[in-house]
Amino acid sequence: MDTTLQDPLVGHVLDGRYRVDARIAVGGMATVYRALDTRLDRVLALKVMHPALAADGSFVERFIREAKSVARLAHPNVVQVFDQGTDGSYVYLAMEYVAGCTLRDVLRERGALQPRAALDILEPVLAALGAAHRAGFVHRDMKPENVLIGDDGRVKVADFGLVRAVDTVTSTTGSVLGTVSYLAPEQIEHGTADPRVDVYACGVVLYEMLTGDKPHSGDSPAQVLYQHLHADVPAPSAAAPGLAFELDDLVASATARNPEVRPYDAVALLAQVLEARAGLSPEQLDAVPPKALTPDHDNAEDRTSVIPRSLSGQRPLPVNEDDAAVLDRTSRFESPPPPPRRRGNRPRRGLFAIVAAVLLALGLGAGVWYINSGQFTKVPPVLAKTEAQARDRLAKVGLDVKQVKQAYSDTVKRGTVSGIDPEVGARIRENDAVTLTISKGPETVKVPDLAGSSLNEAKALLKEKGLAAGMVTRSFNDDVSQGSVIGTDPGAGTERHAGSAIAITVSKGSRIEVPEVTGSSVEEATADLEDEGLKVKIASQRVTSEFDKGEVAEQSPGPGRYLAEGDTVTLTISKGPEMVEVPDVVGDSVDDATKALEDAGFEVDEDRGLLGLFGDTVKGQSVDGGEEAPKGSKITIEIR
C-alpha cells in the first residue's frame, strides 16, 4: 500500500508555492518529500520538520539560522539549499532533488562493496565535508542515509540539519544530537563536536562499506554507545579477510577514540585516502567483498535522534540483565586489544625452514627461493602516526630509523609523520633503515599590508610571503586612487597558513554618475560623457525610436548609474521613428475614430471648437488618411 496517500501534506501546496507530490523518506527529525516549485517549475526536495520539534522555538530558530549558513556553501558534492520558510505549523527547507538512491540503499541491496567502489564514494564525501570544514561548519550526522548517489553517478552529501559552526560551543548538558552508530566518543561523553567527529563517522561508514556491517552493535543504544567509548573499531580485514592492510590503517586512523590522533578534518583524511589508494594494486582495489550481511537497517540506531546523556555517559544504564552482564564484562578492559594487523602473506620462519628442507631433499634450490622472499619486506604505512608509533611499527617488520627530518605540512598534524623514504609500500631488505619526516604543522605567515599598491604588486608580494591571491573585488573609494589596493580579507597582520588565499579589494576610484544623453546628438553625448571621464562606444546596430534620426536613442548604463573613471558607456543611435499609415476616420463617430487611430499606434486629441461641443462626427483630421506619420505621434480630429 502506498503510505504517502495517508500523509496529509501529499497534494498540499506549502507556502502557496511548493506542491508536495510524494513522500521520499522519514527520519528522526524531519520528513522529506518530492515537490514541485510552482513558481520556477522545478522539481526539488522538501524537508519538513516533525511537528514536535517545530513547536520548540529555540530549535526552529537554530534550524533557520543554520540553514541560511549552509545555503552559502556551494560545492558540487553538497546538496544545495534553495529556500527556507514556514507555513502554519510546518517548518521546511527547499533543497536540490537528487534522483537516485542513498548509500544505505546500496548497502542494503549489495552488502559489502569492493574497495575501489568504497573509495570512489568516500572521496567525494570527504571533498564535500572538507569544503564545509574549511568554511567553518561541522556536519555532525554523517551516515549512509545522508550520502546520495545520483542516477548519473554523482555523489552528494545531504542533510546538514545538525550542522554547527566550528567555533560554536557545542557542549550540551542534557542530550546529544546524532545517530547512535556513528557518534564519536567525544560527542557521547562531552557533547562536543568539531570536524574530527565527521572524520570519525566517515571511518565508520568506510568500515561499513568494506564489510557490509557496522563495527559496533548491541541490543540497545546504550550498548552501542558504550562500545564507541571503550572499544576500538576493529580492522575491516577481521570481518573481510583479503582486504589490504592500508584499508585497515585508514579505518584505524579515522576512528581513533582519541580525537587528537585522528586527521584534524576531512581534507586531511582525504589526503590519507588518496595516498592509500595510490599504494593499492588493481587486484587489491577490486578484491571481491565478503558475502553480503543482512542486518536490520530499519532500526533506531540509524535514525538521527536526541539521545539523553543518561545513555551517553561513561557508564550507560543497563536496560536488562543481559545488558548489565555485557557492561560488566566490558568494563574490565578499558581498551580491548585490536585484532592483529596483517602484513601481506609473508610465510613464518618455521614454515620457511620446513619448505626449504623439502625443496633441498628434492634438489630444487631452496636457498635462492628463501633469499628472494624471506629477507625482504615492504615499508608499512606510518603516515599521520607519532614518531614513537612509527618506530614501533617499523621495528615489527625489521626496519630501523636512520634519520628524522622536520618539514611544514598543511595536511598532517604537527608531531606526526608526514613522509617516509623509501615510500610506503616500497620493497626493502629487512634490518635496513628509513628516513622519517615529522610534520611541523602548517606554516603560518602574516598577511602583508598591501594598501596603496597596485594589483600586480600585491599579487607578487603575497607570492613572496608564501600566500596566494584570492578573489579580487573592485569597489568605489574616494581616498584610494583607481587600480590601487584598498585592503585585504583577512586584514594585514593576520596569521594564515602558507598557501592560503587572500581576498583583495581594489579601488575603482571615485564614483561617477552617468549623465542623461538620450535625445542628444552623437557629438554632444560624446562630449558630455568624456567630460565626466568616461569612454564612449557606439553600438553597431541602430534602432527606431521616438528620437530623430541620428540622435541617441539608448544608453547603457542608463542615467543615474555609477561608473569609475575610464569605464565605457555604449550609445545606440536612432533610425528615427517608425512611420505608420494614418487611417481615414472622417465621417466616423468620435469613439470609432479614436479606436482606429489608437489601434494604429497614434495618440488622439480632439478639437471641438464652439460648434462641436455636442457633436459626435469627425469632420477632419490633422494628418489625412493614407499619409504616413511617426508611430506614437499625436493626430488631432476635428469634431462638429
| Cell numbers standing for residue 198 | 565527521
Pairing verdict, β 618-621 and 376-378? unpaired
CB 175 within 8 A of CB 309: yes
Specify the residue for cell string 545488558. Answer: 323
CA atoms within 13 A on the CB side of 192: 9
SS3 555: strand
How far apart (Å, rounded) are the C-alpha atoms in residues 534 and 563?
8
Which element (helix H / strand E) includes 634? strand 634-639
Contact partners, residue 223, CB within 8 Å, separation at least 6:
217, 316, 323, 326, 327
Hey, is 352 helix, strand or coil? helix
Report d(CA 140, CA 264) in Å as an integer: 14
280 neighbors 246 (Cβ within 8 angstroms): yes
Q: Tell me the C-alpha distance between 502 and 492, whole Å.
A: 10
Amino acid identity for residue 57 in this structure: G
Contact in structure between 145 and 102 (CB atoms under 8 Å): yes
Q: Alpha helices of 166-264 — where are they, by DSSP H? A: 185-190, 195-211, 221-230, 236-239, 245-254
CA dihedral sign of residues 320, 322, 328, 331: negative
Q: Which of 7, 141, 159, 432 is catalytic?
A: 141
3-state DSSP of 32-99: EEEEEECCCCEEEEEEEECHHHHCCHHHHHHHHHHHHHHHCCCCCCECCEEEEEEECCEEEEEEECCC
Is residue 271 within 8 Å of residue 134, measured between CB atoms? no
Spatial CB neighbours of 375, under 8 Å, sequence gap ≥ 6: 429, 430
- Torsion sign, CA atoms 351, 353, 356, 357: negative
Q: Strands of 337-432 (E only): list them.
A: 376-378, 400-407, 417-421, 427-429
Geometric angle at alpha carbon 44, from 43 and 50, rounded to 5°: 140
d(CA 56, CA 416): 45
User: For the chain, how many residues are written?
Assistant: 640
Annotation marks residue 531 as catalytic: no
CA 66/CA 316 separation, integer angstroms:
31
Among candidate residues 500, 275, 503, 278, the one with its CA nearest the CA of residue 410: 500
Tell me which residues are annotated as active site.
141
